[in-house]
């Protein structure tokens, strides 16, 4: 780590979040040299060649308060070992954002699909995740998704399935009945859905549904949902 960055971390000891998106240096080295920051709860490692495993392990020994980890748009494939590393290193994690993660590599691991590895990793967390983002991820079967969500059905409040291509009307209703505490749901670019699945959600606890495209809502439809306490986006 450069003397400049070192001085910054020692000067701003009350940092609550650290955004290392597009960092172009040695991320493993940087993370391994960050001093204890007792208020730090959020770390963003997006747009990196891969997950910095060595640096995260060292970082977790100094930072024990992390509740949010964002690792979107990683250039290389996510592996099941990456997921277990996250679970082992950050037991207080409440939010895990894997937006646009490439296919999870499960060759020779015995896992059915990537989401099974994710499910097993999240079970290790002492505080179940309240927000799960699986936007633009691939390699996940619907069975694996259902298995994952069923384990956290009482705690998940926000679910982002943007561009998850295996959803249909029946499955959306099935998930909504499972996730009784769900507050917001993102179904954008779910091409197999029809309006009937959205209307079936009206009686649920949902307060926000994002589903455009493929849907183009009229003002009448928006008002109908709003009367039920739900915003359409």
**Residue 184: both structure tokens together:** 């917001």
CA distance 50 to 104: 12
* % of the chain at pLDDT higher than 70: 76
Specify whether domain 1-138 bears CATH 3.30.1490: no
CA distances from 166 to 90, 115, 133, 140, 157 (A): 30, 13, 16, 9, 21
- Give the distance, in angstroms, between the CA of residue 228 and the centroid of all CA atoms in the same chain: 28
Tell me: the pLDDT tens digits for 9-20?
888 889 999 999
pLDDT value, residue 110: 44
Q: The whole model's pTM is what?
A: 0.59
Higher per-residue pLDDT: 205 or 223? 223
**Residue 72: both structure tokens together:** 């979107």
Tell me: the pLDDT tens digits for 142-181?
776 777 677 666 677 888 888 878 888 888 888 878 877 8
CA distances from 122 to 57, 184, 204 (A): 17, 20, 26
Tell me: the pLDDT tens digits for 114-137?
555 555 555 555 445 577 777 766
User: What ranges do the domains of the chain cover?
Assistant: 1-138, 157-233
């Amino acid at each position: 780590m450069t003397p400049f960055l070192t001085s910054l971390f020692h000067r701003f000891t009350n940092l609550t979040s650290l955004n290392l998106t597009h960092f172009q240096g040695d991320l493993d080295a940087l993370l391994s040299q960050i001093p204890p920051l007792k208020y730090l709860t959020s770390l963003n490692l997006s747009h990196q060649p891969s997950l910095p495993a060595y640096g995260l392990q060292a970082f977790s020994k100094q930072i024990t308060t992390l509740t949010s980890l964002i690792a979107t748009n990683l250039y290389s494939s996510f592996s099941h070992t990456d997921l277990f590393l996250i679970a082992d290193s950050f037991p207080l994690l409440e939010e895990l954002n894997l937006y646009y993660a490439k296919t999870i590599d499960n060759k020779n691991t015995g896992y059915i699909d990537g989401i099974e590895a994710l499910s097993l990793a999240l079970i290790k967390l002492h505080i179940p995740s309240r927000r799960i983002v699986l936007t633009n991820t691939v390699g996940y079967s619907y069975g694996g998704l259902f298995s994952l969500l069923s384990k956290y059905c009482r705690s998940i409040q926000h679910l982002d399935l943007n561009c998850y291509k295996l959803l249909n009307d029946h499955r959306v209703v099935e998930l909504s009945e499972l996730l009784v505490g769900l507050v917001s749901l993102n179904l954008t670019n779910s091409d197999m859905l029809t309006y009937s699945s959205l209307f079936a959600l009206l009686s649920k606890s949902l307060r926000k549904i994002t589903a455009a495209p493929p849907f183009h809502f009229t003002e009448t439809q928006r008002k109908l949902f709003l009367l039920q306490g739900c915003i359409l986006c």
